[in-house]
Amino acid sequence: MNQVWITKTAAVTALADNLETLYSRLIAGQTAIKLVNRFPVFNYNAKIAACIEDLPSSGYQSMLHTLLDYLFADFGVVPADSFLITASTKSGIDNFERLCRNIPADSGDILPSYLPDIISRRLGLNSKGINICAACASSTIAAARGALLIASGKVETVLVCCLDLVTEFVLSGFSSLQALSPEPCRPFDSERNGLTLGEGAAAILLMNENYARKNRRTCMGRIMGWGVSNDAAHITAPAKDGAGLIQAVHRALKVANLDPEDVAAISAHGTGTRYNDMMELTAFNYLFGDRRFPIHSVKGAIGHTLGAAGGIEIALCLEMLSKQTLLPTAGFSSPETGTKGRVSSSSMAISGDCMLTTNSGFGGVNAAIVLGKGKHTFR
């Protein structure tokens, strides 16, 4: 199989509009979760989220267009022959709300299936590409799909672009499921009581070695392995025994030709809900035994960015591997069983070349990516 190199990343969240600043603020323990002022929240139990300030809609367009402006501001030229894979659960859902309130809005921004065409036209790509809409594992699956296409020789370069917004439609939906915490979420904390929503976007440019060499690209790391599964246990809850996630991680390690002890750290889904976090810990205990390796979640700082979560976390994993430092888990103070020595509210040193990042979503979907460090400039 061809090696899959990551040659460019970008991320925008409520904490920062670029990856470098995001990493430094996360290391400092900062959080972007605060009171929502974008829409009325008095009817909801949770009145907080991590919303990007000054993210307006323009004319009849969705806020997603401004978010894309921020994301690609300094990204540089994307090769026109890049195969595009987008990931989003709700795309321009803010325009659906506007239309429901009889406010003029572009209906062409609403469906996630429209997103590839929007981004393709913006970047001048030769083909429209596809969208992955697989709940909160969407962008992890998109990265896995892109890696498989390159590894199998079907394409030479892939752009993965993911995004999701915080709107009243989204918040009310999670509120009706009683999944939201009235306080900032506390991943892997014994007192956790729900997730906190966030919004953001990420872009990841993948290439095979020949294409990267031909274009003299600087590579930031590799996607070494990937795995996707569905436990089909419940419409919203994960399988308590972690069977689906275990299967996805097993597959990712097999593709990477690695053993569990080769994994230096884990960037977990870590939503702060009682069921998700315990499912992940159960799966990790099964896979890695009682080994005290570092685990973290970013969602206590930037919220749960839904379909964009995996892409943002992949970009952050490359930074963590490069700096050999695991980010702190914001909101973590009372360790859940099995987290002592693994999860911390402070940054932790890591030692190794590989990280595992996982995401899970409604409907029992699970995805895992093994990332390898190794910055290299092809000449």
250 catalytic per annotation: no
Q: How far apart are CA 166 and CA 130, in angstroms?
A: 23
Q: Phi and psi for 310 in degrees, rounded to 5?
A: -60, -40
**Type of residue numbered 84:** L
In this structure, the strands spanning 348-349 and 48-49 are: unpaired
Q: How far apart are CA 261 and CA 245, in angstroms?
A: 17
Inter-residue contact 137 to 174 (CB < 8 Å): no
Q: Which of 51, 161, 185, 269 is catalytic?
A: 269
Q: How far apart are CA 246 and CA 204, in angstroms?
A: 25
DSSP one-letter code for 52: P
269 catalytic per annotation: yes
CB atoms within 10 A of CB 260: 15
Q: How far apart are CA 342 and CA 365, in angstroms?
A: 25
Q: Which of 51, 133, 136, 185 is catalytic?
A: 136
Q: Which of 133, 161, 304, 317 is catalytic?
A: 304
What does the chain come to in residues?
A: 379
Q: How far apart are CA 327 and CA 23, in angstroms?
A: 8
Q: Phi and psi for 92 in degrees, rounded to 5?
A: -90, 55
Q: How far apart are CA 68 and CA 8, in angstroms?
A: 16
Inter-residue contact 55 to 67 (CB < 8 Å): yes
In the structure encoding, which two tokens stand for residue 311, read together?
């892409």
Inter-residue contact 179 to 107 (CB < 8 Å): no
Distances (CA, A) of 262 to 68, 151, 229, 354: 36, 21, 22, 7
376 catalytic per annotation: no
Using alpha carbons only, how large is the chain's radius of gyration in Å? 19
Catalytic residues: 136, 269, 304
